[in-house]
Amino acid sequence: MSNLLESYAEVAGTDIVDQLRQLAAPLRGMKVVHVNSTRVGGGVAEILHKLVPLMCELGLNTRWEVITGERDFYQCTKAFHNGLQGHRTVIPEHLLRAYQETNARTAERLRPVLEEADMVFIHDPQPAPLLGLCPNRKGTWVWRCHIDASHPDRHVWRYLRRFLTDYDASVFSLASFAQALPHPEYLIPPSIDPLSDKNLELSREEIAAVQQQFGLDPQRPMILQVSRFDRFKDPLGVIEAFRLARKFVPGLQLVLAGGTASDDPEGEAVHLEAQNAANHDRDIHLLLLAPDAHRIINALQRCADVVLQKSLREGFGLTVTEAMWKGKPVIGGDTGGIRLQVINYHTGFLVNTPEGAALRIRYLLQRPERGQEMGEKARQFVRENFLLTRQLREYLTMLLALRSGITDRIELS
Ligand code: UDP
């Protein structure tokens, strides 16, 4: 077995790697192309950095191409993103023109590769028009939407839909994110990479150093929420829950870790609200972390006794997956993708109020053996459902189904 697959077998189990090899066998030599809009930054690029070499190791001839443009192109695609997520959006004509021109230029450059490919994955709206610009395509084209398109701005959706209808299939992350399109639609939830800095095993020394760096007492219980300073993540609710729970759990510490408020004015305002609510409490640690502080977040998740994600609204909630993978019981808001991950009373608790969260914090900290049992189940649940290898298995299964026209079963030789 090759090195990369072997490393995944060590953390994700040999079964899944065997399944990947079985599924890939009939697809060996197939030309696959992924197209997205950036090689760095953002979840899609992060996944492709691992997915593409894994597909190559499995014998699929896989390449990764990127569409790049000028300022107007990115302004337009940012507006699409916001529009798909439900913001009222009016996109000026000149931005739409830049979008189409950038796609036309990219098609000039990539047409030979794309028309020759057996399978093309177009990620998100940025490169969506490429299909219409490759009239001699011979392969199967899939539109992979990573965005919550459940309630899009109707003008934006109507504009984009025209580029999508001719695809052979589309993939959404969750059923609730999907839009109706006139072709088969697949649901493939997101995943975490167990070998990334955010999730790999850390030494005790590294974890202890992070505790020391942020003035956390390793002898006292600690609860954690990692999230952007966003009202939907309910940082004030977390502080309230902490204060209620502390009455019953002496010495309790809270860490609220989020990104640096950069170009997001609301982020700054929410951070300020959290600071006011914390009111110089020495046991509430509000951490503003750099965007690449992956190992720090990893260490914080590992040294927490309980992890919260008390969101009021949530897409999928990768922070939940990350914490569960580290064997932590998670207390999560009863919403969105958190419900797929936190199985109430088994892998954690679902809550709707600060009082509910406080009750569960108290419960888990007073019965550490129960927290540990839930954490073990949580890790197993993530191993089975939300690792990168599972996502790849689903992509391969979909490729087989699409290539062979099978809709109800896949035969392996
Ligand atoms: N994250 C981070 N730094 C921060 C806050 C969050 O690296 O300050 C990471 C977090 O570990 C997770 C992702 O950003 O991997 C957030 O994904 P999630 O689905 O939880 O929430 P979103 O921010 O997409 O609403």
Domain spans of the chain? 3-191+387-404, 204-385
pLDDT in tens, 287-330: 999 988 999 999 999 999 999 999 998 889 999 999 999 999 99
- Confidence band of 404 (pLDDT split at 50, 70, 90): confident
* Mean pLDDT to the nearest integer, 266-276: 91
Angle of helix 388-404 relative to helix 43-57, nearest 10 degrees? Answer: 70
Question: Could you tell me the fold of the domain covering 204-385?
Answer: Rossmann fold (3.40.50)
Q: 318 CB less than 6 Å from ligand 1?
A: yes
What pTM did the predictor assign? 0.90
Q: 321 CB less than 6 Å from ligand 1?
A: no
Q: Which two tokens stand for residue 188?
A: 């493939």
- Cα–Cα–Cα angle for 196, 201, 206, rounded to 5 degrees: 105
Q: For residue 325, how many C-alpha atoms fall within 13 Å in the half-sphere facing its CB?
A: 27
For residue 259, report the distance from its CA to the centre of ligand 1, in Å. Answer: 8
Q: Which atom of ligand 1 is nearest to the CA of 316?
A: 19
Task: Using a pLDDT cut of 90, give the percent of the chain over it.
Answer: 86
For residue 228, report the distance from its CA to the centre of ligand 1, in Å. Answer: 7
With a CB cutoff of 8 Å and minimum separation 6, the contacts of 220 are: 251, 252, 253
As a whole number of angstroms, the distance between CA 295 and CA 237 comes to 26
For residue 162, report the distance from its CA to the centre of ligand 1, in Å. Answer: 32
Question: What is the architecture, at CATH level 2, of domain 3-191+387-404?
Answer: 3-Layer(aba) Sandwich (3.40)
Would you state the pLDDT for residue 413?
A: 46
Q: Which atom of ligand 1 is nearest to the CA of 198?
A: 11
Element (DSSP H or E) covering residue 286? strand 284-289
For residue 21, report the distance from its CA to the centre of ligand 1, in Å. Answer: 31
Please determine, for residue 259, whether its predicted confidence score (pLDDT) is greater than 80: no
Q: 315 CB less than 6 Å from ligand 1?
A: yes
* Mean pLDDT to the nearest integer, 337-351: 96
For residue 351, report the distance from its CA to the centre of ligand 1, in Å. Answer: 20
pLDDT in tens, 48-94: 999 999 999 999 999 999 999 999 999 999 899 989 988 898 999 99
